[in-house]
C-alpha cells in the first residue's frame, strides 16, 4: 500500500498536519504564558494579603516607623503554605530577615544534577509577556515602593516565578516580601500528560483515514494503470474495468472515460480496417479492367478496336488517379480534424465567401447563391478548413445534379432557444432529387449515383462520406431530403457558440 506515490502523499499530508498539531500541543507556548500569568497573579494575591498583615501587626512608630522582626517571624511561622510556595522577607539592605524554607518543618528532596566537567547551562524558553530577571533586581525594584514580578531559573534548573511586594508604613518601605513558586513545570507536565491520550487517538484515526483513502484512491488507480499496461502488452484496444467504473466518484468517472476512450479508439481502428478493405475493392475494379483491356489489345489487330481499348485504359487510369487523390484527401482531412484545435468560425461569412468564389469562377452554367447576410455573424466552434471542405463537397454535388442553367441556393438560419440553439445550413439544388431508399446510402463510402449521361468513374463516391465524417467530428449532424418542388436538399446542423446564444462563455 505504501509503495504508491499517491498513498505516500496521503499519509505525508495527513501526518504533516498531525505533527503540527502534536508539536503545538506539546510546546504549549501560549499555555505556558497563561500559566505563568495566572501563577503570578495568584502569588500577588497571596503576597498582598501577607504584606498587609505584616504592615498592620509587625510595624510600629510614627513618623519614623520600624519593622518588628520577631513579630514578622511569628506571623510567617503561623502561615500554612503549599509545598511549592516559598516566602522571603528582605530588609532595606537586602538582608534576608525570614525565609520560609528555613523556618518550616518540612524537608524538600530533589535529585542532584548530573556531574559534568562544565557548568550546566540552564535554558529558559522565552515568554514575551514576562521578563527573565534575577531576584536581586526584583527586590531592588520593590525597595523603591513598586511591586515587581519575574521569571528565573532555580538552583536545580527549574522554572521559578516570583512576586516581590514592598511593606510600607507612612510611605516608608520597611521591608520587601517575596513570594515564589517552582511548580510551573509540574503544571505543564500534567497538562502534557492530559493531552497525550487525545494525541494518540488522533494519530490512530489519521492512520485509519489514511489507510482508507489509500485503499479507495491509490489502489484503484494502480489497478487502472495495471490494466492499461496489460492492454499495451497484449495488443488489445478495449479497456474494461467494470468494478472500478461502477464507482460514483472521480475515479469511477476516470475509469468510464478511459473505457470510452479505448472504445472510440477500437471503433476508429475498425473503421480504418473497413476503409482499407473498401479502398482495396475500389482499386481492384479499375485494375482488373486495365489488365483485361491490355490482354485484349495484344490480341486485336484492328486499329479502331485498339484505339477503343486504349481509351478504356486511359479512362481507368484517370479513375485510379481520382480514387487515389480522393483517398489521400480523406485521410488528410481525418488527420486534420483529429489533431487540429477548434476556433470560432463565422459560418455566415464562410458560406458567403464560398458563394462568391463559385460565382467568380462560374463562366456560365450553374449559379451558386447565398440566401443570407454575410455581415450578420453566426458563430460556431470548429476548424475552418474541414468545414469549408464539407460545404464545397455539398455544393459540387449539387451542381453536378443541377441542369446547366440551374441554381444552387445556400441558406443559413438559427433554430431553437436557450442552450438548445443550433445553426442550420442548407444546400439546395434543382436536380431530379434522390430516391427515398438512397437517402442514407449516399453517405456510404464509394457509393455513387450519378445523373444520366455522366461519365462512368467520374466520381469516387467519397465526397459525402467525408462531409459526414467532418460534421460528426464537430458534434453536428448531416442528412439529405427531397424538396417538395423538386430537387434535393442537404442539411447540416451545428451547435451555436455558447456566448452567441446569450450564455456566459468561459474558456476551457
The residue whose grid cell reads 519575574 is 150
Angle between helices 29-57 and 184-213 (to 10 degrees): 160
State the pLDDT at residue 298.
80
pLDDT at 25: 63
Fold of domain 238-339:
Helix Hairpins (1.10.287)
Residue for grid cell 527549574:
158
Percentage helix, strand, coil for the chain under 3-state DSSP, each rounded to 5: 55, 15, 30
Domains 5-105+121-190 and 341-508 share a fold: no
User: Cell 455522366, residue?
Assistant: 454
pLDDT value for 421: 85
Chain-centre distance of CA 486, in angstroms? Answer: 56
Host H or E run for residue 180 = strand 172-181
Cβ 35 vs Cβ 188: under 8 Å: yes
330-333 long-range Cβ contacts below 8 angstroms, 24+ apart? 330/462, 330/465, 330/466, 330/469, 333/386, 333/389, 333/466, 333/469, 333/470
Return the pLDDT at 6: 64
Instruction: Determine whether domain 5-105+121-190 maps to CATH 3.30.450.20.
Output: yes
Domain extents in the chain: 5-105+121-190, 238-339, 341-508
pLDDT score of 9: 66
Q: What is the pLDDT along the chain (508 residues), one digit of tens a residue?
A: 555 666 676 677 777 767 776 676 666 556 667 777 888 888 899 999 999 998 888 888 777 888 888 888 888 888 888 888 889 999 988 899 988 888 765 555 555 555 444 433 333 344 444 557 788 888 999 999 889 988 888 777 778 889 999 998 878 899 999 999 888 777 777 777 777 777 787 778 778 877 877 787 878 888 888 888 888 888 777 888 888 888 777 788 888 888 888 888 888 788 777 777 777 766 777 788 888 888 888 877 788 888 888 888 888 788 777 777 777 776 776 666 666 677 889 999 999 999 999 988 877 788 999 987 666 788 898 888 889 889 998 998 899 888 888 899 999 998 877 777 899 999 999 888 998 898 898 888 777 765 555 544 556 677 788 888 889 888 899 999 999 888 999 999 999 887 665 544 343 3
Q: Identify the burial level of 280 via C-beta atoms within 10 angstroms of its C-beta, where 0-12 means exposed, 13-18 middle and 19 or more buried.
A: exposed
Nearest to 159 by CA among 189, 191, 138: 189
Written as nine digits, the cell of 54 is 505584616
All three cell numbers of 505, joined, read 462563455
Is 428 strand, coil or helix? strand
C-alpha dihedral over 26, 29, 31, 34, to 10 degrees? 160
pTM of this structure: 0.49
* pLDDT of amino acid 125: 40
52: cell is 498587609
Helix axes 303-339, 250-299, angle to 10 degrees: 170
- DSSP-assigned beta bridge partners for residue 151: 132, 161
**What is residue 508's predicted lDDT score, i.e. its pLDDT?**
36
What's the pLDDT score for residue 29? Answer: 58
| pLDDT confidence of residue 114 | 53
CB atoms within 10 A of CB 36: 20
Q: Which residue in the block uniquely carries the three cell numbers 484527401?
A: 329
Fold of 341-508: Heat Shock Protein 90 (3.30.565)
Q: Is 129 within 8 Å of 147 (Cβ atoms)?
A: no
Q: At what angle do helices 29-57 and 69-77 cross, to 10 degrees?
A: 130
Q: Sort 344 into a burial class: Cβ within 10 Å, 0-12 / 13-18 / 19+.
A: middle
CA quadruple 399, 403, 404, 406: dihedral positive or negative?
negative
Write down the pLDDT at residue 318. Answer: 80
d(CA 215, CA 220) in angstroms, rounded, equals 7
- Residue 481: per-residue pLDDT: 94
Amino acid at each position: 500500500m505504501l509503495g504508491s506515490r499517491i498513498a505516500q502523499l496521503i499519509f505525508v499530508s495527513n501526518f504533516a498536519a498531525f505533527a503540527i498539531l502534536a508539536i503545538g500541543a506539546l510546546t504549549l507556548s501560549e499555555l505556558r504564558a497563561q500559566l505563568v500569568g495566572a501563577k503570578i497573579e495568584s502569588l500577588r494575591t497571596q503576597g498582598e494579603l501577607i504584606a498587609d498583615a505584616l504592615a498592620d501587626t509587625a510595624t510600629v512608630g510614627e513618623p519614623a516607623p520600624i519593622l518588628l522582626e520577631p513579630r514578622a517571624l511569628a506571623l510567617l511561622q503561623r502561615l500554612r503554605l503549599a509545598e511549592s510556595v516559598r516566602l522571603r522577607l528582605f530588609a532595606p539592605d537586602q538582608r534576608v530577615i525570614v525565609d520560609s524554607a528555613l523556618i518550616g518543618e518540612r524537608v524538600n528532596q530533589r535529585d542532584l544534577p548530573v556531574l559534568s566537567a562544565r557548568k550546566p547551562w540552564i535554558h529558559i524558553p522565552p515568554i514575551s509577556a514576562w521578563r527573565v530577571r534575577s531576584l536581586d533586581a526584583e527586590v531592588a525594584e520593590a525597595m523603591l515602593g513598586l511591586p515587581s514580578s519575574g521569571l528565573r531559573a532555580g538552583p536545580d534548573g527549574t522554572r521559578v516565578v516570583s512576586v516581590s511586594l514592598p511593606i510600607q508604613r507612612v510611605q516608608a518601605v520597611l521591608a520587601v516580601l517575596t513570594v515564589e513558586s517552582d511548580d510551573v513545570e509540574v503544571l505543564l507536565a500534567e497538562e502534557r500528560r492530559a493531552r497525550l491520550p487525545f494525541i494518540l487517538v488522533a494519530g490512530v484515526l489519521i492512520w485509519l483515514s489514511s489507510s482508507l483513502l489509500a485503499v479507495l484512491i491509490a489502489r484503484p488507480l494502480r489497478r487502472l494503470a495495471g490494466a492499461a499496461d496489460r492492454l499495451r502488452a497484449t495488443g488489445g484496444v478495449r479497456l474494461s474495468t467494470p468494478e472500478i467504473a461502477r464507482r460514483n466518484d472521480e475515479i469511477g468517472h476516470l475509469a468510464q472515460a478511459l473505457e470510452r476512450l479505448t472504445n472510440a479508439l477500437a471503433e476508429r481502428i475498425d473503421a480504418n480496417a473497413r476503409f482499407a478493405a473498401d479502398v482495396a475493392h475500389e482499386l481492384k475494379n479499375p485494375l482488373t479492367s486495365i489488365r483485361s483491356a491490355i490482354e485484349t489489345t495484344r490480341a486485336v489487330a484492328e486499329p479502331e478496336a485498339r484505339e477503343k481499348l486504349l481509351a478504356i485504359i486511359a479512362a481507368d487510369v484517370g479513375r485510379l488517379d481520382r480514387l487515389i487523390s480522393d483517398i489521400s484527401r480523406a485521410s488528410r482531412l481525418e488527420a486534420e480534424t483529429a489533431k487540429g484545435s477548434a476556433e470560432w468560425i463565422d459560418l455566415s461569412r464562410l458560406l458567403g465567401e464560398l458563394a462568391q468564389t463559385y460565382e467568380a469562377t462560374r463562366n456560365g452554367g450553374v449559379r451558386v447563391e447565398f440566401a443570407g447576410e454575410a455581415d450578420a455573424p453566426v458563430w460556431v466552434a470548429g476548424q475552418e478548413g474541414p468545414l469549408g471542405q464539407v460545404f464545397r463537397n455539398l455544393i459540387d454535388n449539387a451542381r453536378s445534379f443541377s441542369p446547366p442553367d440551374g441554381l444552387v441556393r445556400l441558406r443559413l438560419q438559427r433554430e431553437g432557444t436557450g442552450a438548445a440553439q443550433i445553426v442550420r445550413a442548407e444546400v439546395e439544388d434543382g436536380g431530379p432529387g434522390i430516391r427515398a431508399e438512397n437517402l442514407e446510402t449516399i453517405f456510404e463510402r464509394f457509393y455513387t449515383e450519378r445523373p444520366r449521361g455522366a461519365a462512368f468513374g467520374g466520381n469516387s463516391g467519397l465526397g459525402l462520406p467525408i462531409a459526414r465524417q467532418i460534421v460528426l467530428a464537430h458534434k453536428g449532424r448531416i442528412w439529405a431530403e427531397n424538396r417538395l418542388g423538386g430537387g434535393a436538399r442537404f442539411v447540416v446542423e451545428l451547435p451555436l457558440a455558447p456566448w452567441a446564444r446569450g450564455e456566459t462563455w468561459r474558456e476551457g
